[in-house]
Amino acid sequence: MEFWTIPRTTQVTEVVAVLTLLVLLGTNGVESRKALANDYFEYSAISCRTHSASLTDFGGVGDGTTSNTKAFQAAINQLSQYASDGGSQLFVPAGKWLTGSFNLTSHFTLFLHKDAVLLASQEESEWAVIDPLPSYGRGRDTNGGRFISLIFGTNLTDVVITGDNGTLDGQGALWWEKFHKGKLKYTRPYLIEIMYSDKVQISNLTLLNSPSWNVHPVYSSDVLVQGITILAPVTSPNTDGINPDSCTNTRIEDCYIVSGDDCVAVKEWLG
């Protein structure tokens, strides 16, 4: 599976061919096979956005107590206008950024500084309630709907959630307590959920203490999850690491997961 690929130039192809020939000529007596040069090579989408902005440009305050839900959504709404003009990137600088859920847009990169921490709000009013997934028919914790994920997107193409190992902290202890005491009105939120989308990259982040599942790509294709660290107490309920659900062309690599349930669980809807 290839992600965000562009054709090689003729010059690069010629160089590869020359190097391959030199290697073959220099391997007398050594078993070898001819390497075929691909027509494409991978490049990182995070370096290919035409427009960029910082969360602070939209009033974001990284003090750990000020809600940044409106700042995130205002920033993404503004940057969404560049989807057809080279795409956009939202940079989250160092700081502790308290926030409820926010929705992503297409041709977009969310990039977290290495010292940036997104703190999931513990106020239920900061989490919209959405319908259960069609393949589930009900919420996992309750019969009704479910709280939307911290980072959410649906019907997107070319979306990247990455950083220099920045952190998402779900602050899940309050949610776990409500689950154990049977006090949940709706199913707990996940940290990242992307639905009905393609060309999705989630990489180079640390995810802590999710209220429930951590990473949930669902009904999507061409998904790459790479270089993710996921940590939650082994006693925390249903804190699955990465659950690709009814997806195609999905690759998970170089991830480290400690959780209270499955590390990786591949799911399929046959409906």
CB neighbour list of residue 125: distance below 8 Å, 6 or more residues apart? 100
Instruction: Give the closest residue to 256 by CA, choosing from 214, 218, 217, 219.
Output: 214
Cα torsion angle, 55, 60, 64, 70, sign = negative
Tokens of 56: 């602070």
Nearest Cα residue to 149 out of 199, 69, 62, 215:
215
Residues marked as catalytic = 261
Cα 195 from Cα 58, distance rounded (Å): 26
